[in-house]
């Protein structure tokens, strides 16, 4: 085989993988946005077959030979193709260890699980979800062995979401963070809280939709390339760097929920749109989960919850909701959307208490996958940890262990990447501040400089660099204390500590 021919086959393989992914994603998007309720069965069949075909396309001898050939000639390959071959080889070796029937059964299970989880959450009844969750945990314990049998199962799963992280690393990361933020949370508990009741007046959905349009415009999201839909749980799906979809969820009595969901998912969209053209239709379009979250949380928190940003968008908020906000100032709005208070729902948590929500999930996953916690005991453990970490009583499963969709999608080991992403983002902010007048432009409602910086330093690379290298390339060696410093400074100033 000639090298040129091998590279052509490498490209063709990835384009076919892209096509299967695009088809599965379109079915998924349909299922959570517009598909009628009782239509999951047929889609499950289609998804199962697509997954099977994708497995056949990839996990065969020919591909193995191609990847071995490229591995031998890797010194001659340009960086992008070398990384593609490396990543594919890694997935290939993993996938070859997963029997096709198990892979297909798992895909069908996650499709079913999403449905069951929705129903269980609606009825706030964990027992409905329990049997499916048991199967999902068992699959993941088994798959962890296929991924890397030299690692503890949960370490193998963590490594899938953020290469290089494991329990030893995260135990330290979370302990150090907790040590810095828990005293601040306690001190805030003694202080008077800002009034945020105005956020919970009636905000008609029509007005909120206009706000979404406006926020997407401020973020420079071209609607010809980025659509918005509505789902129970907001998310972003990117087909390629010219076709990205975000979703949100409107609550008439909670203005900030959708507002910040749109900015968060818009951040994911910016990331996907920022990946360079050369990486399209390859396996390198996506970065690690932590790096992805660093981008979404950058826009949501570091920019979106800053005073200059709130001041910049406040006139529009006033225009859309003149009655509701007539006696509110930008400063009061800023304080309200940064109110720090231990609460029940992760996606509604403030920046300061947010990492504690992650720590609860991390502890539970660690024990579930490690086999020291039975699935039936999840609600009890969840409620106990919420009391211990956040001091709140969980009234029901809907607002407890059934609140997130991740486990129903088979994602165990994903949650820590939210906290890591925030920590990466804090360091990016410090570096960005050294390079440009961030707050001057954000205060004018101009995010183009912020986006250009992130695109240049982070987004365009997609998965070309490993997460640790990408962070180091953008900001120097990763230093988690920057994140803790940021939180302590911000909330000390907000609450006059
Ligand atoms: Zn996200």
- CB contact at 8 A, 459 and 271: yes
Tens-place pLDDT, residues 230-289: 998 899 999 999 999 999 999 999 999 999 999 999 999 999 999 999 999 999 998 899
Cβ neighbours for 348, distance < 8 A, ≥ 6 positions apart: 254, 257
Percent above pLDDT 90 for the chain = 92
CA of 467 to the centre of ligand 1 (A): 16
Q: Are 420 and 288 in contact (CB under 8 A)?
A: no
Question: In this predicted structure, what is the pLDDT of residue 1?
Answer: 80
pLDDT of 390 > 90? The answer is yes
CB 30 within 8 A of CB 228: no
pLDDT digits (tens, 9 = 90+) for 131-185: 999 999 999 999 999 999 999 999 999 999 999 999 999 999 999 999 999 999 9
d(CA 61, CA 251): 52
DSSP 205-253: HHHHHHHHHHHHHHTT--TTTEEEEE-SS--EEEEETTEEEEEE---TT
Q: What average pLDDT does this structure show over 21-25? A: 97
Select from 44, 19, 17, 48 the least CA-distant residue to 30: 44
The DSSP line for 399-420 is TTTTS-STGGGT--S-THHHHH
Domain 167-495, CATH number (from 1.10.1370.30, 1.10.600.10, 3.30.450.40, 3.10.180.10): 1.10.1370.30
**What is the domain partition of the chain in residue ranges?**
3-125, 167-495
For residue 2, report the distance from its CA to the centre of ligand 1, in Å. 42
Tens of pLDDT along 46-95? 998 998 899 899 989 999 999 999 999 999 999 999 999 999 999 999 88
Neighbours of 180 (CB within 10 A): 16
Q: What is the DSSP letter of 157?
A: H
Quick: pLDDT tens for 307-336: 999 999 999 999 999 999 999 999 999 999
The whole-number pLDDT of residue 25 equals 96
Give CA angle at 473 (468, 479), nearest 5°. 55
What pLDDT was estimated at residue 8?
Answer: 97
Q: Sheet harboring 243-248: ordered strands across?
A: 226-230, 243-248, 236-240
Has residue 442 got a pLDDT over 90?
Answer: yes
- Considering the chain, what is the average pLDDT of its residues? 95
Buried b (16+ CB within 10 A) or exposed e, 138-165: ebbbebbebbbeebbbbbbbbbbbbeeb
- The alpha carbon of residue 156 and the mean position of all alpha carbons in its chain are separated, in whole angstroms, by 19
How much distance in Å is there from the Cα of 346 to the middle of ligand 1?
12
pLDDT for the residue 198: 98
Give the pLDDT confidence score for residue 383 in this predicted structure. Answer: 98
How many C-alpha atoms does 207 have within 13 Å on its Cβ side?
Answer: 19
Judge whether 292 and 472 are in contact, CB under 8 Å: no
Cα 357 to averaged position of ligand 1 atoms, centre (Å): 15
pTM (two decimals): 0.92
Active site residue: 86, 160, 162, 265, which one? Answer: 265
Cα 321 to ligand 1 centre (Å): 27
* pLDDT recorded at residue 347: 85
Sorting pLDDT into bands at 50, 70 and 90, what band is 24? very high
265 part of the active site: yes
Expressed in angstroms and rounded, the spacing between residue 173 Cα and the centre of ligand 1 is 20
Confidence label for 444 from pLDDT (cuts 50, 70 and 90): very high
DSSP string, 440-457: HHHHTT--HHHHHHHHHH
The percent of residues above 70 in pLDDT, for the chain, comes to: 100
pLDDT at 98 over 90: no
For the segment 115-122, the average pLDDT, to the nearest whole number, is 94
Averaged pLDDT for residues 413-427: 96
């Amino acid at each position: 085989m000639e090298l040129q021919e091998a590279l052509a086959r490498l490209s063709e393989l990835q384009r076919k993988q892209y096509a299967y992914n695009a088809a599965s994603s379109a079915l998924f998007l349909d299922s959570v946005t517009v598909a009628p309720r009782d239509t999951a069965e047929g889609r499950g069949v289609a998804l199962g077959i697509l997954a099977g075909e994708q497995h056949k396309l990839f996990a065969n001898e020919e591909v193995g030979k191609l990847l071995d050939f490229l591995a031998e000639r890797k010194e001659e390959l340009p960086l992008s193709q070398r990384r593609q071959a490396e990543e594919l080889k890694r997935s290939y070796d993993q996938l070859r260890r997963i029997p096709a029937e198990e892979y297909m059964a798992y895909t069908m299970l996650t499709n079913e699980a999403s449905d069951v989880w929705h129903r269980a959450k609606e009825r706030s009844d964990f027992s409905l979800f329990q049997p499916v969750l048991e199967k999902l945990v068992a699959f993941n314990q088994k798959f962890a062995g296929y991924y890397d049998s030299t690692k503890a199962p949960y370490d193998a799963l963590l490594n899938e979401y953020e290469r290089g992280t494991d329990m030893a690393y995260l135990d330290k990361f979370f302990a150090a963070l907790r040590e810095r933020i828990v005293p601040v949370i306690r001190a805030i508990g003694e202080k008077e809280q800002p009034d945020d009741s105005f956020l919970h007046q009636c905000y008609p959905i029509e007005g909120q939709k206009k706000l979404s349009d406006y926020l997407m415009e401020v973020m420079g999201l071209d609607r010809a390339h980025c659509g918005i839909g509505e789902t129970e749980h907001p998310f972003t799906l990117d087909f390629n760097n010219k076709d990205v979809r975000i979703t949100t969820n409107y609550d008439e009595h909670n203005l900030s929920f959708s507002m910040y969901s749109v900015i968060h998912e818009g951040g994911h969209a910016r990331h996907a749109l920022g990946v360079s053209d050369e990486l399209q239709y390859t396996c390198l379009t996506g970065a690690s989960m932590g790096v992805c979250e660093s981008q979404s949380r950058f826009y949501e928190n570091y920019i979106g919850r800053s005073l200059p940003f709130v001041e910049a968008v406040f006139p529009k908020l006033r225009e859309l909701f003149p009655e509701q906000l007539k006696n509110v100032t930008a400063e009061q709005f800023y304080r309200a959307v940064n109110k720090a208070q231990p609460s029940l729902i992760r996606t509604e948590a403030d920046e300061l208490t947010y990492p504690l929500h992650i720590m609860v999930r991390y502890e539970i996953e660690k024990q579930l996958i490690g086999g020291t916690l039975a699935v039936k005991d999840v609600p009890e453990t969840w409620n106990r940890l919420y009391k211990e970490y956040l001091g709140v009583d969980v009234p029901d499963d809907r607002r407890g262990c059934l609140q997130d969709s991740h486990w129903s999608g088979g994602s165990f080991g994903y949650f820590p990447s939210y906290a890591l992403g925030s920590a990466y983002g804090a360091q990016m902010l410090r570096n960005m501040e050294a390079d440009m007048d961030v707050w001057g432009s954000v205060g004018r409602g101009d995010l183009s400089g912020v986006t250009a910086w992130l695109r240049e330093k982070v987004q365009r690379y997609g998965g070309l660099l490993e997460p640790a290298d990408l962070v180091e390339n953008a900001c120097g060696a990763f230093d988690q204390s920057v994140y803790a410093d940021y939180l302590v400074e911000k909330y000390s100033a907000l609450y006059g500590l």
